[in-house]
Amino acid sequence: MGLTFGWGTTIPKSSLVRCSVKTVRLQSFSTSSNYLIASSVRDERYRQAVALGITILSPTILSIISEATTADQIVDETHRHHLPRFKGVLIYLHLDETLHENRQIRNEIMTNGGLVVSNMTQATHIIVNPAEQNLPDVAENQFLVSSQWIHVSRDLNWCADEQQFILKKYRIRRGTARRRLTFTGYIRGQGHCRDSATKYKRYQLCQELYSSEIRCLQMMDFLVRISTDNYLTNEHNLIIFGSFLSMKTIHSELVEKIGRILNTWDDDSMIGNIFVEIAGDMERSYLEYFQHLEICQETFKECKHRNSRFRSFIEVKEQDRSLDKQKIEYLFSIPYQQLTSRILVTLKAIHEKTDKTSSDYICLLAAIEAVDQILRKCNDSKKKTTESRLILKQIKNLPAYVICSRGIFLEQHTFRCVLPEKENKLSQLIQFYLFDDSLIIARRLNQASCVTLSLTKTKESKKTDFNDFYPLSGIREVCLLSDGPSKAFVLTLRNVQDTQWYLDVIDSLEDSIQFMNKLVDHVNKICNNRQLELSSDSSTNEVYKREWLERSDSYRARSPARTLSSISNSIRRTLSFNSKNHSRRRERSMIDCKSAPSISYPPDVHLSWEDDNCENNELVNPYDGIKHFTPYPNISKRERSILDDCC
């Protein structure tokens, strides 16, 4: 992992050094920097780095950077080069230093890089007792702060924002019968007058929220970078890490906006409107994240188990110091924890510490409601997509873009797809999966219970093989065809070739029509400017009907020949995997099974073996006028008995 050192405005470019470590970069400070190098707490980038939770280093680290040979050497030395919290500050103490407490303040300043001056005009900060009334005037570039600033800076371990501790002069006029008496006093502004503790607590809560957002952004950035340089395919990377790219974008925007607010913080700063403005993008990103979280974790575990190179790669990455040596699986749930345990809880706490007269009070209420609504929608979506995930698990060879789709499953239906004669396939059972935004077409897989000559007994499997995926906006036309009792549908899909699916009805006609009507309704719902209908009578339907009948006749004509070929292939497979009958498998290997010639039969022809007194072991066609033929001319009676035993 690379290290980025950003220099502040108090560091001249001439003092920068070159580093021989390729993973270490020195550049202008930005939100992506790991460290800030500054010579004073009055650096213009200091407040921004504090708000971002970025470590601030003194210029002495530059010598370490120039001499280091590895990034770890630099990281190990950073704790020795932290910038003291009062570095570059000139302080004048307008206090009674005979008191022990005030002497401790002087020692605190000098120990942590500050300089105590005896001339008030030279000072950048003038510290006074809050109870003092007769205070001197200060210049515009000087800060008149209370001693509480020193104590809070010590607790925070960085220089607290002096804007929160400034004392302002005010004038109260009291009229009397004799004269107007003028009373001059001082009050604290911007967070430390009335309810100072409450107002500063609000600021601290915003800082905590910002720190947690920084941490979440770092984890999302880590996951995105893993997806670019690992040993997985693009499809696996999309399934596992695809949703984290949008999460990184959302939290990066939150970090930028909250950091800008904290950099110019005052009592009127508004945090709530940030979440109100970004609620729409957050909802889309978190919906995608919640829907794919489970399959993301499952795919990651599977890839880690099967791919040894990927497993070794992950083990090395988990030793990264920036992760605190956490497991990658834990990082997958960080956005969920950030939304539920940090953002929502912190916003409620900030709302409790906000004055009801503040403009941010109403904005925080709206922000809390927006986050609550995101959580409700995510939970509802997760319940709805549970069935969708179970359906997708039944489909084999699904591409990644289908797995990552956000559709909600509605209904499924089975048709028999009639293919044209030029297609070297039999008619197939096709399963249609209707989602609220797409249509998945898959081929039904049949698992034979035993090898029979007629191949009539088969066991249907719930598994299907992926064929195609279409968005509902790509459906162009749906037609119902009839030929006596036979019914079929024609589904035209909008693509380069305008693909047409001819679908025979094999189940209840009412269920098939109901499925197609639901398909049409959802197409119209998505495409507002279209009014698709299930048509049954039109001139175009006649063209579709002729094509359908031609395909159906062609299918019936070539089915017997295809059946014989399937019989031969099934016998070969059965004998080759028969581990109990080795001798019969050796004898079977000598049999020359040849494919049957392509002879057309009526649809109700049944081919069967003749009895033993039939010459040449021919297959007999029970219909007159059709010549007998011999598909296996070299098979003897003994060899035929071997085939019968195997079947």
Residues 246-264, mean pLDDT to the nearest whole number: 87
Q: For residues 464 and 116, what is the distance between their CA atoms, to the nearest angstrom?
A: 80
623 or 330, which is more confident: 330
Q: For 338-483, where are the alpha helices, taking DSSP H only?
A: 344-352, 359-393, 400-403
Say if residue 644's pLDDT is above 50.
yes
Residue 597's pLDDT is 42
Residue 446's pLDDT is 60
Residues 271-298, mean pLDDT to the nearest whole number: 88
Residue 445's pLDDT is 72
Topology agreement, domain 3-80 and domain 205-393: no
Residue 626's pLDDT is 40
83 or 551, which is more confident: 83
Give counts: helices (H), strands (E), the chain: 19, 21
602 or 206, which is more confident: 206
Q: How confident is the model at residue 544 (pLDDT cuts 50, 70, 90)?
A: low
Q: Which two tokens stand for residue 102?
A: 């005030």
- The 10s digit of each residue's pLDDT in 440-450 is 888 877 654 44
Residues 105-131, mean pLDDT to the nearest whole number: 86
98 or 141, which is more confident: 141
Residue 567's pLDDT is 58
- The 10s digit of each residue's pLDDT in 453-467 is 343 444 455 677 787
Highest mean pLDDT among 158-162, 481-485, 593-597: 158-162
Q: How confident is the model at residue 371 (pLDDT cuts 50, 70, 90)?
A: very high
Share of the chain above pLDDT 70, in %: 69
Residue 386's pLDDT is 72
Residue 453's pLDDT is 38
Q: For residues 66 and 286, what is the distance between their CA atoms, to the nearest angstrom?
A: 43
Residues with Cβ within 8 Å of residue 98, at least 6 apart in sequence: none
Q: Over the chain, what is the mean pLDDT?
A: 74
CATH number of 205-393: 1.20.900.10
Topology at the third CATH level for domain 3-80: Rossmann fold (3.40.50)
Residue 518's pLDDT is 84
Residue 615's pLDDT is 45
Say if residue 377's pLDDT is above 80.
yes
Q: How confident is the model at residue 369 (pLDDT cuts 50, 70, 90)?
A: very high
Question: Which of 65-69, 294-298, 474-478, 481-485 is least confident?
Answer: 481-485
Report CA-CA distances (Å) from 559 to 160, 353, 426, 490: 85, 79, 7, 22
Highest mean pLDDT among 94-103, 220-229, 606-615: 220-229
Question: Which of 154-163, 332-341, 358-367, 626-635 is least confident?
Answer: 626-635
Question: Which of 59-73, 226-240, 481-495 is least confident?
Answer: 481-495
Q: Is 533 exposed, middle or buried (0-12, 13-18, 19+ CB in 10 A)?
A: exposed
CATH of range 90-188; options 3.40.640.10, 3.40.50.10190, 3.20.20.330, 3.40.50.300:
3.40.50.10190
Residues 560-585, mean pLDDT to the nearest whole number: 54
Nearest to 554 by CA among 353, 420, 464: 420
User: Do the Cβ atoms of 394 and 400 come closer than 8 Å?
Assistant: no
Max Cα-Cα span within the chain: 146
Say if residue 342's pLDDT is above 70.
yes
608 or 263, which is more confident: 263
Residues 29-53, mean pLDDT to the nearest whole number: 85
Q: How confident is the model at residue 71 (pLDDT cuts 50, 70, 90)?
A: confident
Per residue, the 3-state secondary structure of 257-311, as one string, reads HHHHHHHCCCCCCCCHHHHHHCHHHHHHHHHHHHHHHHHHHHHHHHHHHHCHHHH
Residues 18-24, mean pLDDT to the nearest whole number: 81
Cα 288 versus chain centre, distance? 6
Q: Which two tokens stand for residue 222?
A: 């880590």
Domain ranges of the chain: 3-80, 90-188, 205-393, 400-556, 562-646
Residues 482-486, mean pLDDT to the nearest whole number: 71
Residue 470's pLDDT is 79
Residues with Cβ within 8 Å of residue 409, at least 6 apart in sequence: 385, 387, 388, 391, 433, 434, 435
Q: For residues 405 and 15, what is the distance between their CA atoms, to the nearest angstrom?
A: 53
Q: pTM of this prediction?
A: 0.49
- The 10s digit of each residue's pLDDT in 135-181 is 667 787 788 888 888 888 887 778 888 877 887 654 444 444 433 43
Per CATH, the architecture of 400-556 is what? Answer: Roll (2.30)
